Amino acid sequence: MPIATPDIEFLRDLIARQSGNVLRSGQGDLIEVRLRPLAAEAGLENVEQLVAELRRTKSPRLADQVAQAVTVNETSFFRDIHPFNALQSKIIPDVTKENAARRELKIWCAAASSGQEPYTIAMVIREHFPTLSNWNVRILATDISEKMLARCSSGQYTQLEVNRGLPARNLLRYFDRSGSVWTVKPELRNLIDFQRLNLTTSWPITSQFDVIFIRNVLIYFDQQTKADILRRALRQMRPNGYLFIGSAETVIGLNLPLQREEIDGTVCYRHLRG
Ligand SMILES: C[S@@+](CC[C@H](N)C(=O)[O-])C[C@H]1O[C@@H](n2cnc3c(N)ncnc32)[C@H](O)[C@@H]1O
Going from the C-alpha of 6 to that of each of 3, 62, 126, 223, the distances in angstroms are 8, 19, 52, 25
* pTM, entire model: 0.97
Nearest in space to 126 (alpha carbons), one of 189, 211, 190, 188: 188
Contact assessment for residue 76 and residue 164, using Cβ atoms and an 8 Å cutoff: yes
Architecture of domain 82-270: 3-Layer(aba) Sandwich (3.40)
Q: Does the pLDDT at position 1 exceed 80?
A: no
CA R_g for the chain: 20
User: Could you tell me the distance, in angstroms and rounded to a whole number, from the CA of residue 133 to the centre of ligand 1?
Assistant: 29
Average pLDDT, the chain: 96
Mean pLDDT of 82-105: 97
Atom of ligand 1 nearest to the CA of 68: 25
pLDDT band at 272 (very low <50, low <70, confident <90, very high): confident
Q: Does the pLDDT at position 230 exceed 90?
A: yes
| Residue of 113, 153, 166 to mutate, ligand 1, most atoms within 8 A of C-beta | 113
**49-65 confidence digits (pLDDT tens):** 999 999 999 999 999 99
Going from N- to C-terminal start, the domains of the chain cover 5-69, 82-270
Contact assessment for residue 116 and residue 221, using Cβ atoms and an 8 Å cutoff: no
Q: Does the pLDDT at position 126 exceed 90?
A: yes
Give the Cα separation of 184 and 154 in Å (integer): 8
User: Could you tell me the distance, in angstroms and rounded to a whole number, from the CA of residue 173 to the centre of ligand 1?
Assistant: 27
Tell whether the torsion through CA atoms of 170, 176, 182 and 187 is positive or negative. negative
Which residues make beta-bridge pairs with 262? 267
**234-264 confidence digits (pLDDT tens):** 999 998 899 999 999 999 999 999 999 999 9
Atom of ligand 1 nearest to the CA of 114: 27
**8-state DSSP, 89:** I
Around ligand 1, the residues with Cβ closer than 6 Å are: 19-21, 71-75, 79, 111, 113, 117, 143-145, 148, 197-200, 215-217, 220, 246
